[in-house]
Structure 1
Amino acid sequence: MQAVRQDPLLGGSEIFNGFLRRAQQETQQIPTEEVQLEVLLSSGQKVKVSILTSDQTEEVLEAVASKLDLPEDLIGYFHLFLVLEAKDGAFSFIRKLQEFELPYVSVTSLHNPEYRILLRKSYWDSAYDEDVMEQRVGLNLLYAQTVADLERGWILASKEQHRQLKSLQEKVSKKEFIRLAQTLKYYGYLKFDPCVTDFPEKGCHVLVGAGNSELNFQVKLPNDQVKEGSFKVTRMRCWRVTSSVPLHNGTSGPTTGKPEVKLELAFEYLMSKDRLQWVTITSPQAIMLSICLQSMVDELMVKKAGGSIRKKSRGRRANLTLQRSDSQQAVKSPPLLDSPDCSSRDCVVAKVSSKLGSVSLRAISHSGSSADIGTDDFHGNYAFEGIGDEDL
Structure 2
Amino acid sequence: MHFSIPDTTEISAKNSNNQQSYTLFNIHINGVHHCSVRYSQLRTFNEELQRLLPSAMANIEIFPPKKFFSLSPKETEDRRVLLEHYIQSIVQNKFIITSSYFKEFFLNAQRETFTTESFDNNDKINLTICLLNNHELIIENLSPNDNTSRLLDACALKLQVQQDFLTYFSLYLYEQKDNQLNIIRPLYEFESPYLSLKQLKKTYQQSCIVLKKSYWDLDFDLKLLDDRRARNLLFVQAQYEIEQSQDLYPSDIYRQLDILRENKSFKDYILLARTSKFYGHIILQKCSLLYPINETTKQKLCQCLLAIGNNELLCCFNLDEKKKAKEVSLKVTRIRCWKVNWTKQNVDISVEYLIQKGTLIWITIHTEQAALISSCLQSMVDEIIAKRIDTTSPVTTSNESTTERALPKTANGLATRTEADLERLNNNDIFDRNDDDDL
Category of TM-score, reference length = shorter chain: 0.7 to 0.9
Q: Which amino acid counterpart does residue 273 of structure 2 have in structure 1?
A: A
CA distance 1:15–1:154, shift in 2 (3 Å): farther
Residue 308 of structure 1 deviates from its aligned partner by 3.6
The structure 2 residue matched to 1:114, chosen from 206, 210, 219, is 206
Residue 72 of structure 1 deviates from its aligned partner by 0.8
CA distance 1:285–1:231, shift in 2 (3 Å): same
The structure 2 residue matched to 1:242, chosen from 317, 341, 366, is 341
Residue 99 of structure 1 deviates from its aligned partner by 2.3
Residue 195 of structure 1 deviates from its aligned partner by 1.4
The structure 1 residue matched to 2:332, chosen from 226, 233, 242, is 233
Rg bigger for which structure? 2
Distance 2:365 2:322 in 1: 19
Return 5+ residue gaps in structure 1 as ranges. Answer: 247-261, 324-386
The structure that is strand-richer by fraction is 2
Say if 2:94 is the partner of 1:8: yes
Residue 172 of structure 1 deviates from its aligned partner by 1.1
Distance 1:170 1:234 in 2: 39
Structure 1 partner of 2:125: 35
Structure 1 contact 156–184 (Cα < 8 Å) conserved:
no
Residue 391 of structure 1 deviates from its aligned partner by 3.8
Deviations 1:157-185 (A, max 9, x none): 64531221112112211111111111111
Alignment of 1:241-260 (within 5 A): 241-246=340-345
Structure 2 partner of 1:264: 348
CA distance 1:390–1:243, shift in 2 (3 Å): closer
Structure 1 partner of 2:314: 216
Length-normalised TM-score, structure 2: 0.65
Say if 2:370 is the partner of 1:279: no
Distance 1:83 1:297 in 2: 24
Q: CA RMSD in A?
A: 2.6
Bigger RCO of structures 1 and 2 (CA < 8 A, at least 6 apart):
1
Alignment of 1:1-392 (within 5 A): 1-30=87-116, 31-32=118-119, 33-50=123-140, 51-88=142-179, 90-110=180-200, 111=202, 112-153=204-245, 158=250, 160-200=252-292, 201-221=299-319, 225=323, 226-246=325-345, 262-304=346-388, 305-306=390-391, 307-308=393-394, 317-318=403-404, 391=436
> What secondary structure, in the 3-state scheme, does the structure 2 residue paired with 1:270 have?
strand
Aligned residues: 308
Q: Percent identity?
A: 34
Structure 1 contact 77–309 (Cα < 8 Å) conserved:
no
Distance 1:97 1:202 in 2: 36
Of 155-164 and 168-177, the range deviating more from structure 2: 155-164
> What secondary structure, in the 3-state scheme, does the structure 1 residue paired with 2:252 have?
helix
CA distance 1:84–1:276, shift in 2 (3 Å): same
Residue 145 of structure 1 deviates from its aligned partner by 1.2
Q: Which amino acid counterpart does residue 224 of structure 2 have in structure 1?
A: V
Distance 1:79 1:319 in 2: 11
CA distance 1:214–1:159, shift in 2 (3 Å): closer
Structure 1 contact 155–185 (Cα < 8 Å) conserved:
no
CA distance 1:174–1:309, shift in 2 (3 Å): farther
Residue 108 of structure 1 deviates from its aligned partner by 0.5
Distance 1:96 1:286 in 2: 13
Residue 155 of structure 1 deviates from its aligned partner by 8.4
Distance 1:44 1:59 in 2: 22
Distance 2:99 2:372 in 1: 24
Structure 1 contact 181–187 (Cα < 8 Å) conserved:
yes
Q: Which amino acid counterpart does residue 342 of structure 2 have in structure 1?
A: S
Residue 156 of structure 1 deviates from its aligned partner by 6.1
Length-normalised TM-score, structure 1: 0.73
Deviations 1:81-132 (A, max 9, x none): 11111132x1211111122122111111123441111111111111111111
